[in-house]
Structure 1
């Protein structure tokens, strides 16, 4: 360990509150990190000493996260598609901070002060033109995308409370002035900037809550879209909802116009919204050259490989028949897309023989639960009876996305394997005050049904299907084959009924976080439920190093070389694993011993 810094901003969480999911940013001899509550710290890259901090005082009643900061340097060489003007007098180097109360703040990267020439004294109010927004119903959680001279944001909405929730609009602002340059409103493509006076962007449309990607050469921004709310009943959804739900949408960075889109789930009734940043990577073609590719991981365990210029599949996709439901007023897609030339991860159809338990009693209870539910594979539709969805609404894969080794063409994918037991509840049987932010009954107001959702766990709080509950996989992007897959994480810091087992048994725990692949053949990952940062051999998946953390982590490690000393560091934050009550406020840097 090279150094440790503590922010003093401890996340308080029950799964619906605050979670530290930050990937720090390094610029020159400074690293920047943001806490779950949006406090920004600038630290010396070699010592961890604090240089400045900024508190936006932007709190929300639920779902506080700051996954990262955007960055723009007006003095840097312009990218190919952007005409960068002369550097402004102040804030030549600026950070962009998303907040839990739906603001976008520009901060001087050198001083920590707001850039007063951006928006209103450094702030753009993202609630503008959105209509009524209840506290906690709309917020920013993912890294703003800086693409040329615009900064682009989507937004997280509160799932499953009602129809007509805040708009899913994606907006691009000038990085210097904060002026709105374009808007993409899925419900009204004619609205390309602000809506007419007295109107709002279309409410309840598919949103973009995860991180976006940008190809400067093609001038395209790639949006992984979510769902029109609510998630588990879609009888009221419009034609444009069904068009844009759970899709990769390629947007022209200059105009905000759609170039192409590809849908990964039709009429999504499973909360299989796209959770992860698309990977942009060039792969060999059949003619001895390369083609621009995009890889998209999904909650349902499918991986789609597309040409990112055209949106056409590189790996073949088949439309296959899926089970149909019978909920009154609902409609169902007869088929779903399956990426048949890419490996599927952790989405097998479960059988009674897959039921498992820490004790024979656990296993028996899980078998009884399973036999009492309808399970027809990954696209088992919700019903008035008890249904089992596997993978559940967390995945599969989630926001951590993937990493890649360009030397081997290996892509690394971490997953979780948690089922979701659910059933629909008629409106007149929904108890007043049902919230279900994480699990439990969700009201889905504006539809005929609420929904009950519970993780498919034993009475001891352990997944009912046999391990692994989470893995790391390597996929060769040239051959599109699975190279290796290993369980990651132990039960050392978790156990039945919340009691730690202190057993370093590598059964494979649900993963949540991002990985880091390095040129030296190492893959770093900390997003397991135990308190370790690990390094794996990218060639075979063997664990070759680990370091004990003070608490668990669900962040993304990053690496940098100090411009002062030439020393390389691995940096991550540790604020607590998702399924642990232990919380922390750590920023930790590792490095090889000084020679």
Structure 2
């Protein structure tokens, strides 16, 4: 007779009970959550699997081997379902299978103990199964560390010709390399073969550590290099001049800028009078700063401050240029009306267009309807005199507003970097939205004419030559976020077309004729969902750039939901099914709606870089959704602010708005990876050449806990890239602490260097006029999501 005692000894009982409890708890979670998901119209898998696990766990707790066999059935069914639901994509399968694989190993290991309760002896099959499953988990875990392309390069690799004698880049005078925004360096001393030998040449410190609380300070600077001096600006409106070969400080200027939030300086402007002397004498010695004539400037730096000033500095000694504005300063609050503290400031680089310096400004979008104007102004680069103003709300105002008046309050602004074509003498303005962002029922057609558009204005007068709108009646904060790229694209007939390429937050890329504004790549007006919010109106269509690739903006479905385990994946599925999601242009309403991409993008302020020799454009993106709903005015919380996430007041409209990132309870994006990529696009064929995930979880992870694992899942990116003629793409705007170099031909990561903290800054490269050595320089002040901050400027070079 078999032993009737299910578990004859405590030593045998406790491992089984632990595993049974784990299976029971898993089954209970999946059953309860699965029932709710099924009620919402979601997948039935979770409730079925949950019930199977409940029975399996109960049987094992009773000492029945049948419980293990039932678990095996559930696991095999899960495997079939996972492949049916997710296909053969690695990360979606990991979410569905890995945790259950771990439990499978435990069940297999206790199976012989269960068999002993029947008075029989188990064979070795369970241990073999446990070993095979464990081996599969180890292989999957190891594969998670292997970088893989999303789109692999095909066909012949592009060639990278050496820089012709005397044609190399000598300076980096503009934030985007040139006013065309190409971020391309005609340098080849550092190339694909020797980049592995790069090492730190020098490190400097700004002494200005950005403190990030909410939408606080961020170091997002791209330095300028003029002759033998490097110029950087800090989040708190300081400028520092450094020797390009040593990083030794030459001078610094402190504008003593004050702002309650959004402190940053992405870049400086630079202007030199024709025939102005270089910063060094023919002997190579530095100018004698102590004996420089105060206020006399032939070479000027333009600092945009966080408290709405434009300051011109002598590039030689850092002193304000007395002949510019009022002793070196133009007060940008003039003509703006009331500006509450922090509601208007400069965040992007001034555009130096010939002898003009052109500025827009960031407006705190969602406080109220009566916010500061979004006027764009051009000043004489030498005197600071106002040359023209472009007020989208009142084009009749072309300079100062009339006495007692202001520029148009709440009109669309230009906060991103602008571009300039000197041959056409056109300035290209990427515009934002009329405030506030998420309710447009009070906007007139005139209010929205120039919003979320690229507007080409005459550099001499500010008069509009053309405009192209990329979001109609924008209710999603789809400001045009990045500097337009000005590039001559092949026309297929042996010639070229003058193009403007614009990346957007919604993951669309537009290619327009920069002379006329007409699309070069086809744009199609498509019907979009219509909302039902009382008092709101909706555009029936939106422009889709069907002639160019779209990046990261596919309409999500339930099977796109993801999690580190099946449990948080289930919660994400439940959250998804409780929201309304109708694609990119899901209109805000009184219920939860999911906007994907969210208001951070898609693509953001970093823009693109280009290899013009091979017509390759490099685009980095982030894939973060935004969950939102509108709040009737009488239900608005009193502590609502207009900064980043949470409730925003939108005073003057019938509604405030709630905004939250679409994240799991573990703080991980709810949709499947990647969450950030780098993409190469052929501007001739207008096709993706390659696409790779960028960034690892080494310095981030669930609940904000650093995992310390270099798993290249692809994390949200923020910041500019840099392309070189030697076939390299440099990038540092990841959530882990690295500066990376990619092979421009394939997207393969071929070098990286660990940074002391993360970076959101633009890499820049130059050749020293004194030593002939090429350097790559990066600011490292901290990644956006990380509390770890620094004040580093790091230069890399090849060893001597």
**Paired position in structure 1 for 2:697:** 491
TM-score (norm 1): 0.97
**Paired position in structure 1 for 2:395:** 189
CA distance in 2, matches of 1:89, 1:370: 60
**Paired position in structure 2 for 1:279:** 485
Residues 1:324 and 2:523 aligned together: no
**Match of residue 288, structure 1, among 478, 481, 494:** 494
Contact 2:295 2:320 (8 Å CA) reproduced = no
Within 5 Å, which residues of 2 pair with 1:223-372? 223-372=429-578
Offset of 1:76 from its aligned partner? 4.5
Offset of 1:159 from its aligned partner? 1.2
Contact 1:298 1:396 (8 Å CA) reproduced = yes
Offset of 1:141 from its aligned partner? 0.5
**Paired position in structure 1 for 2:338:** 132
SS where residue 2 of structure 1 aligns? strand
**Match of residue 47, structure 1, among 246, 261, 280:** 246
1:297-334 deviations in whole A, cap 9, x for unaligned? 00000000011011110000000000000000000000
Offset of 1:407 from its aligned partner? 1.3
SS where residue 481 of structure 2 aligns? coil
Moved more, 359-368 or 192-201: 359-368
Residues 1:437 and 2:636 aligned together: no
CA distance in 2, matches of 1:15, 1:542: 35
**Paired position in structure 1 for 2:585:** 379
1:366-423 deviations in whole A, cap 9, x for unaligned? 1110010000111100011110000000000000000000111000000000000000
Offset of 1:284 from its aligned partner? 1.0
**Match of residue 113, structure 1, among 319, 342, 346:** 319
Within 5 Å, which residues of 2 pair with 1:43-192? 43-76=242-275, 90-192=296-398
Consecutive unaligned residues in structure 2, runs of 5 or more: 1-199, 277-293
Residues 1:567 and 2:773 aligned together: yes
**Match of residue 576, structure 1, among 773, 782, 791:** 782
CA distance in 2, matches of 1:215, 1:164: 34
SS where residue 330 of structure 2 aligns? strand
**Match of residue 605, structure 2, among 380, 386, 399:** 399
Residues 1:473 and 2:701 aligned together: no
CA distance in 2, matches of 1:408, 1:563: 28
Offset of 1:239 from its aligned partner? 2.0
SS where residue 486 of structure 2 aligns? strand
Contact 1:233 1:269 (8 Å CA) reproduced = yes
Counterparts in 2 of 1:307 and 1:522: CA distance versus 1, 3 Å: same
1:16-50 deviations in whole A, cap 9, x for unaligned? 11010000000000000001111110000000000
Offset of 1:285 from its aligned partner? 1.3
SS where residue 382 of structure 1 aligns? coil
Q: Would you tell me which structure has more helix in proportion to its own residues?
A: 2
**Paired position in structure 2 for 1:211:** 417
Offset of 1:90 from its aligned partner? 1.5
Contact 2:365 2:642 (8 Å CA) reproduced = no
Counterparts in 2 of 1:544 and 1:280: CA distance versus 1, 3 Å: same
**Paired position in structure 2 for 1:36:** 235
1:158-205 deviations in whole A, cap 9, x for unaligned? 011110100000000001111000000001111110011110001000
Offset of 1:559 from its aligned partner? 0.7
Offset of 1:286 from its aligned partner? 3.6
CA distance in 2, matches of 1:584, 1:89: 33
CA distance in 1, matches of 2:639, 2:369: 16
Contact 2:680 2:690 (8 Å CA) reproduced = yes
Contact 1:471 1:509 (8 Å CA) reproduced = yes
Q: Would you tell me which structure has more strand in proportion to its own residues?
A: 1
Within 5 Å, which residues of 2 pair with 1:454-465? 454-465=660-671
Offset of 1:155 from its aligned partner? 0.3
Contact 1:38 1:56 (8 Å CA) reproduced = yes
Contact 2:295 2:322 (8 Å CA) reproduced = no
Runs of 4+ in structure 1 displaced over 4 angstroms?
A: none
Offset of 1:242 from its aligned partner? 1.2
SS where residue 260 of structure 1 aligns? strand
SS where residue 369 of structure 1 aligns? helix
Contact 2:320 2:328 (8 Å CA) reproduced = yes
CA distance in 2, matches of 1:435, 1:53: 35
Offset of 1:508 from its aligned partner? 0.2
Contact 1:15 1:578 (8 Å CA) reproduced = no
Offset of 1:241 from its aligned partner? 1.9
Offset of 1:72 from its aligned partner? 0.4
**Paired position in structure 2 for 1:17:** 216
**Match of residue 409, structure 1, among 599, 610, 615:** 615
Bigger relative contact order (CA 8 A; separation at least 6): 2
Consecutive unaligned residues in structure 1, runs of 5 or more: 78-87
Contact 1:227 1:241 (8 Å CA) reproduced = no
